[in-house]
Amino acid sequence: MRLTISQLTISQLSISQLRIRQVRNLCFILLSSLLFVQSGFAADVGKLYEASVKAERDIGENELIKEAFSLVLIKVSGRSDVVSSPAYAGLLKKADAAISQFRYDHKTIPSDQLLENSTSENKTVEKEKWFWARFNPKTINDLLTEAQIPVWGKVRPETLIWFSQEVKGKRFLKSQHDAPQIYDVFKKQAESRGISLIFPFLDLQDQSSISATDIWGNFNDAILLASKRYQAQSTLTSRLFKEPSGLWVSQWNLLLLGETQSWEIRDEKLDRALASGIDELADKLAQQFTQFDQQGDRAGLLVQINNVTNFKGFQELDDYLRNLATVKSLTLVQMEQDRLIYNIEFLGSQTSLIQEIRLGDMLNSIERSGRNSNNTDDADNRYKPVILDDLDKKNGISDGSTEKPGAREVALNSMDKTAETQKPSGEIKMGETKIEEAIPVVRQPLQPDLEYWYAR
């Protein structure tokens, strides 16, 4: 059999095109995997101040506004019990003043997007009328703060969810491709509560490191080891089965900050059994990251940050701290060598502030010894860094003392208004950048409550 030149050329071209497509698909998969893994840090959650509610015929516009307003309060605070708080009735009266935009939408619900347990009456293509509203962020935040309800910032932890279902006595670990309707409920409910979920690939690597047995047996070591590649701040397992009575049962296990929390939902409707589990997750995350300070009002927290070597880093760090949801005010009180000391007044509790900082990848916590928060001059009680001995020697600073001024020791405000300050003339260098301002220099040694290492 002979092939002509044209046939041979066409054959070679087809093989080349096939190889190009294969390489392109492989590159796409690798790039997607890389982006997916790198995104496993705290999520910047959007649409916190907007909500959609179904517009029933017998519900007036004022009621729709109040319903959307309630959903936004829950989303911004992170707590579903906000509607049962004593201040809720007063907040509801201010819904009209807080709204900034609204409109009506018509959504088509195809039958293939409905869950398998839906009734036959619901399995029809239909159009639904929805009311959408956006509220003023500052107004919402002020109303919640006045009502002593914590505001949960838009930077929130990402949660990796492993889902397993029991079907006819057999248990399966399912991906979003295996159970798209179920994962659709996860997505929609997470968005309505303002939290971020990560769904695993369940590729060969996952399948070799975790199984349905690990999920149902609560083998946390194996679960955490398999979850490590996704770099999520918390890990959630979800187990689903149907009882002989017809009730759907969803069981949940949350691994967060070294602790385990569990809950169970029973409902005759599958979507409610799943959505209620996500609601409980949002409540528990909000309780963890928006706690009130039980010690009452405090002047502030001294936080030292090391390894800030240039002005660009200083600006990035300063912007980062000011944008934290738990930070009420931020004052730079001292600069020395590559160290900054801030006084941070915060909303909620100190634990909430620490945990919010842990969500990002900018600051690494440093364990310390010899801490004293009284800011006394007693040398035995002075703040002593643990892992910075080499850096201290290099900079010529004696162990445990921050009194000797460095080349960049500056301050914008003193913690002690009676402390001596002076205004140096000329320039102050910060890395390679010159600051042309004359700003007070604090000579008073400070003992920070917390210490971090700037990791950029």
pLDDT tens per residue across span 12-71: 544 455 454 544 444 443 343 333 333 344 667 889 999 999 998 788 999 999 999 999
pTM of the model: 0.65
Domain that holds residue 121: 50-146
Query: Is residue 191 one of the residues assigned to a domain?
Result: yes
Are 419 and 444 found together in one domain? yes
Are 322 and 433 found together in one domain? yes
Are 126 and 168 found together in one domain? no
Are 177 and 269 found together in one domain? yes
DSSP label at 41?
S
Query: Is residue 7 one of the residues assigned to a domain?
Result: no
The rounded mean pLDDT for the chain is 76
Query: Residue 344 has which token pair?
Result: 């941070």
- Output the DSSP codes for 394-454: HTT--TT---S--TT---SS-SSTTS------S-EEETTEEE--------S----SEEEEE
Are 142 and 161 found together in one domain? no
Which of 439, 442, 436, 404 lies closest to 420 in space, CA to CA? 442
DSSP label at 309?
-
Interval 209-258: pLDDT, tens: 999 999 999 999 999 999 999 988 899 999 999 999 999 999 999 998 78
Rounded mean pLDDT, 425-434: 42
User: Does 415 have pLDDT greater than 50?
Assistant: no
Are 323 and 386 found together in one domain? yes
- Give the model's pLDDT for residue 322: 85
Rounded to a whole number of angstroms, the CA Rg of the chain reads 28
Least confident of 46-55, 84-93, 314-323, 399-408: 399-408
Of 335 and 122, more confident: 335
C-alpha to C-alpha distances, 109 to 52, 78, 205, 208, 434, nearest whole angstrom: 15, 28, 36, 38, 60
Query: Is residue 242 one of the residues assigned to a domain?
Result: yes
Rounded mean pLDDT, 396-408: 38
- Give the model's pLDDT for residue 375: 35
Rounded mean pLDDT, 402-419: 36
- Give the model's pLDDT for residue 444: 62
Query: Is residue 1 one of the residues assigned to a domain?
Result: no
CB 260 within 8 A of CB 236: no
Number of folded domains that form the chain: 3
Separation between Cα atoms, residue 195 and residue 197, nearest integer Å = 7
Are 380 and 329 found together in one domain? yes
Are 416 and 328 found together in one domain? yes
Q: Which of 289, 321, 337 is the last residue of a domain?
A: 289
Interval 59-109: pLDDT, tens: 899 999 999 999 999 999 999 999 999 999 999 999 999 999 999 998 877
Separation between Cα atoms, residue 95 and residue 92, nearest integer Å = 5
User: Does 445 have pLDDT greater than 90?
Assistant: no
Q: Which of 146, 175, 192 is the last residue of a domain?
A: 146
Q: How many beta carbons lie within 10 A of that of residue 287, not counting itself?
A: 15
Are 165 and 138 found together in one domain? no
CB 355 within 8 A of CB 257: yes
Query: Is residue 10 one of the residues assigned to a domain?
Result: no
CB 244 within 8 A of CB 232: no
- Give the model's pLDDT for residue 257: 77
Q: How far is CA 211 from the centre of its chain?
A: 27
The torsion of the CA quartet 42, 48, 54, 57, rounded to 10 degrees, works out to: 170
Name every residue whose Cβ is closer than 8 Å to that of residue 358 and which is 6 or more positions away in sequence. 233, 365
Q: Which of 146, 176, 191 is the last residue of a domain?
A: 146
Which of 17, 5, 142 lies closest to 73 in space, CA to CA? 142
Kindly report the backbone phi and psi dihedral angles of residue 190, in degrees, each rounded to the nearest multiple of 5, phi listed first: -65, -40
Query: Is residue 44 one of the residues assigned to a domain?
Result: no
Sign of the CA dihedral with 204 first, then 205, 208, and 214 last? negative
Share of the chain above pLDDT 70, in %: 67
